[in-house]
Amino acid sequence: MTHDTFWTQTKDLLRSTLPDHAYNTWFDPINFITMNENEMVLEVPNQFFYEWIDSHYKNTIESVVSSNFNKTVRVKYTVAPDYQTEKTPAHDYHAERVEKTRDPKTKPRLNEKYTFSTYIEGSNNQFAKAAATSVAEAPGQKSFNPLVIYGGVGLGKTHLLHAIGNFIIEKIPEKNIVCASSEKFTHDFISSIQKNRTIEFSKFYRNADVLLIDDIQFFQGKEQTQEQFFHTFNELYQTGKQIVMTADRYPGEMVKLQDRLLSRFKSGVSVDIQPPDFETRVAILMEKAEINNINISYDIIEFIATHIKNNVRELESTVIQLLARSSLFNKEIDMPLVKQAVKERIGNRLPSEISIEDIVRRVSEKTHVPEFEIVGTGRKKHVAEARQIAMYLSREIMNTSLNTVGLYFGGKDHTTILHACRSIEKKTKKDPRIKQIVTTVQNEFRSVFE
């Protein structure tokens, strides 16, 4: 049974299981992308669609597959990009010439919303954005070729990848841009073998002036696909074409990739994107609220930014979810609604979602000592006291190791942290003021969703 047949039969089974309106609304628009032994990749129209399918129907899909095909499959999703439309202004000979010479099949699959201007910059992604901008302004320069942007899920790697493509389309429209996920590249390669069109496949990818490939980690374990990509990479690189890739980790940490392919990936520049800091998370939420014309008070934005911190996509999805809840139930976006949405998103993960950064911020509020002084080296009595309280609470609330706490507070050794913890523990029994600060912060974290 081919993968396409498998998906067709799965959809038929879902149609017989679900009400017509549910099937027509949520399954008709889905496109099947590819499948391997235990993973199926589906393309959905947008982020909200993904959120709904993943939370309401993921188990249904996996159950139908398991019970009818005796196969355990994990469902993954990719959000379909908006297609970039090329406009030919009247009497613009240059644009006409570009339009005529460009093969319509090579129109890049780029999301028009992903631009450098809509990318929120913070300390966590400054270098990555600078490298991406440099590539976009002068594609093919040796020092940034290839460019690998790596980092965790939902941190903005795909945004930067598409921003490069959108910038080049606007500034250098004659460049032929090819943008694809690693799954799409693999699917195209397999399809070209099945349909005897390997020459067309090679021509499509190797005629690119700029090749943008998302999630190269999924090449792992696919030997023939790696072979094809190696030759594609070589031909483009040797002719001075720009290659940009994204990955979930540094290329050198990938397993089941050919050594010669890894050496190519590491031959250029690799830049990482870290989870955003608090200020960047607030900026992202404010931008998302403005784009969606949602009026959200700052205390609500701060609450979301405090508890959802490792994933930009989760931050944005929370705003969309709030908008959906507000519309469906005709309710104002207030703190109870936000607390419910955040609690559902992070579930029972609250302890792991608290960071030392959060604790330092709360201690700063209670002691009126600025955060930068708490994590600094100042020795004034009130500063040192606030620092010790923050160290103590980091251990008490998060059960963080002495070494980890020490690293956060400027690389202090574990004996310094241990001394601080013992000192505050004694003071809470003798000093009502310190006891109140410690108890208040502890209770705020415990009762945040009550």
- pLDDT tens-digit readout, 116-148: 988 888 888 889 999 999 999 989 876 788 999
Cis peptide upstream of residue 275 (ω within 30 degrees of 0): no
426's CB contacts (< 8 A; 6+ apart) are none
Task: Please state, rounded to an integer, the average pLDDT across all residues of the chain.
Answer: 81
Which of 107-111, 139-143, 341-345 is most confident? 139-143
Tell me which amino acid residue 218 is: F
Q: What is the pLDDT of residues 197-256, one digit of tens each?
A: 888 888 899 999 999 999 888 888 888 888 889 999 989 998 999 999 999 888 877 877
Reported confidence tier of residue 384, pLDDT bands at 50, 70, 90 = very high
> What digits encode the pLDDT tens for the residues 34-90?
777 777 888 887 776 777 777 777 788 888 888 777 777 788 877 766 433 333 333
Distance of CA 34 to the CA centre of its chain: 21
pLDDT of residue 99: 39
Tokens standing for residue 183: 């799954």
pLDDT digits (tens, 9 = 90+) for 347-382: 544 444 577 888 898 899 999 999 889 988 888 999
pLDDT at 223: 85
Break the chain into its structural domains and give their ranges.
Answer: 3-79, 101-273, 278-346, 354-446
Which amino acid would we find at residue 258? Q
pLDDT > 90? residue 149: yes
In this predicted structure, the answer to whether residue 261 has a pLDDT above a threshold of 90 is: no
**Would you state the pLDDT for residue 242?**
94
Identify the weakest region by mean pLDDT among 105-119, 148-162, 165-179, 337-351.
337-351
Answer yes or no: is pLDDT of 279 > 90: no
- Tell whether the model's pLDDT for residue 103 goes beyond 60: no
* Structure token digits, residue 151: 């980092």
Residue 346 binned pLDDT confidence (cut-offs 50, 70, 90) = low
* CATH code, residues 354-446: 1.10.1750.10
C-alpha span between 189 and 184 (Å, rounded):
8
Q: Model confidence over 411-425: pLDDT tens digits?
A: 888 889 999 999 999
Q: What is d(CA 449, CA 442) in angstroms, rounded to the nearest whole number?
A: 13
Q: Which CATH architecture has domain 278-346?
A: Orthogonal Bundle (1.10)
CA 247/CA 349 separation, integer angstroms: 26
How many Cα atoms occupy the beta-carbon half-sphere of 331 within 13 Å?
13
Burial class (CB within 10 angstroms; exposed 0-12, middle 13-18, buried 19+) of 5: exposed
Rounded Cα distance between 121 and 128, Å, is 10
- pLDDT recorded at residue 211: 94
Beta strands in 130-282 (DSSP E): 147-151, 177-181, 210-214, 242-247, 269-273
**Residue in this structure with the two tokens 């103590």, named with its chain if needed:** 392
**CATH code of the domain made up of 101-273:** 3.40.50.300
Q: How far apart are CA 71 and CA 3, in angstroms?
A: 13
CB-side neighbour CA atoms (13 Å) of 20: 0
CATH of 3-79, one of 1.10.150.120, 1.10.540.10, 3.30.300.180, 3.10.450.50: 3.30.300.180
Structure pTM?
A: 0.57
Kindly indicate the confidence band of residue 4, based on its pLDDT and cuts at 50, 70 and 90.
confident
Same fold for the pair 101-273 and 354-446: no
